[in-house]
Structure 1
Amino acid sequence: MTNLKVTSHAPADLDGGLAALRGDCARMAPHWAVPEPAEPGPVPPSSIHGVTVPVRSARLLDAMSDYGD
């Protein structure tokens, strides 16, 4: 036999108002830790390799006018 008992961690009152919503957000805030932003460093051109452009894309870009000529 299957146990069909369902437990929910959601509040029973879905129309709790703004105060309930703010309380829910305050309880969840510690779970949403934001990592410190990492500053990207310069990349030497010698490390950029293996980039390929499909022929159709190259033709499309070649056919475009430069700066609205």
Structure 2
Amino acid sequence: MNKKGNEGNPWHALAMVGALGFEVGLSTAAGYFIGSWIAPSSSGWKIAGVFTGLIVGLLIAILLVKKALENKNG
């Protein structure tokens, strides 16, 4: 049997997409809750927390994809 890791495996691709969505969603939710913890009566902190969490989540997702592509090529 000549297998090359996870290349061409649809379950691996599905797991990667799910992990990316979970990471972005979790970071965004964490930003919202941190913003509401800092100032419960101010919606500005909640909005800032959501955008900060979204940016952090997207950066982590980019790093995960970059690492996955490096492992695939190397």
Q: Which has the higher Rg, Structure 1 or Structure 2?
A: 1
TM-score if structure 2 supplies the norm length?
0.24
TM-score if structure 1 supplies the norm length?
0.25
- The structure whose residues are more often helix, as a share, is 2
| Higher relative contact order, chain-length normalized (CA < 8 Å, sep 6+) | 2
